[in-house]
């Protein structure tokens, strides 16, 4: 089964680059897509995403990696950001539920749920992006292969 960054239980990391070429990244809480990964919204905690938000404000470039910890199935998407906003209060429950699903997955691997649930997730920024590239990143001979 091919997993995507928008699936529940995924470890989601975002990466950016500054105008000077310096990389920055942070853990995202989750990602969503209403159109089969043509566009995507990634939610990042305000507490840990300052450099990421600053970079996308200037370069508009964003990479998102979603990995499923039990089997390391991993996908990377790259694209151009179209909007950054504070997540709405109505989205807080989604983020909490996704964090709980991630905690459930890591619990299966021996990580106490309380460790994951202690991660900062609110308030959050919502970063909207147009997905331009999708890559297989599962460790193995197909890692780096474009998927579309």
Distance CA 85, CA 128 (A): 9
Lay out the sheet containing 61-68: strands in order across.
23-28, 11-17, 61-68, 73-86, 124-136, 39-45, 30-32
Distance CA 22, CA 128 (A): 22
In the predicted model, what is the mean pLDDT of the chain?
A: 94
Q: What is the CATH number of the domain that holds 40?
A: 2.30.110.10
- Domain limits at 30? 11-136
Q: Contact 132/123 with Cβ under 8 angstroms?
A: no
Tokens read off for 48 = 């840990």
Task: Report pLDDT digits (tens) over 60-105.
Answer: 999 999 999 999 999 999 999 999 999 999 999 999 999 999 999 9
Residue 25: inside a domain: yes
Which pLDDT band, with edges at 50, 70 and 90, does 2 fall under? confident
CA angle 60, 61, 67 (to 5 degrees): 135
For strand 61-68 and strand 124-136, is the pairing parallel, antiparallel, or unpaired? unpaired
Residue 3: inside a domain: no
**pTM of this structure:** 0.94
Give the chain's domain count.
1
Task: Report pLDDT digits (tens) over 9-23.
Answer: 999 999 999 999 999
**Torsion 30-121-87-56 (CA) sign:** negative
Residue 41: inside a domain: yes
Distance CA 2, CA 52 (A): 27
Residue 6: inside a domain: no
**Torsion 38-43-46-50 (CA) sign:** negative
């Amino acid at each position: 089964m091919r997993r995507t960054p928008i699936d529940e239980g995924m470890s989601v990391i975002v990466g950016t680059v500054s105008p000077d070429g310096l990389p920055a990244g942070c853990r995202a809480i989750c990602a969503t897509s209403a159109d089969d990964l043509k566009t995507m919204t990634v939610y990042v905690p305000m507490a840990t995403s300052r450099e990421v938000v600053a970079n996308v404000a200037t370069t508009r470039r964003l990479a998102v990696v979603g990995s499923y910890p039990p089997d390391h199935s991993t996908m990377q998407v790259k694209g151009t950001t179209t909007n950054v906003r504070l997540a709405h209060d109505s989205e807080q429950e989604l983020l909490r539920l996704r964090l709980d699903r991630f905690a459930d997955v890591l619990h299966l691997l021996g990580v106490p749920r309380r460790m994951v649930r202690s991660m900062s997730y609110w308030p959050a920024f919502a970063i909207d992006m147009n997905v331009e590239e999708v890559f297989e990143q599962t460790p193995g001979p197909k890692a780096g292969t474009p998927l579309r």
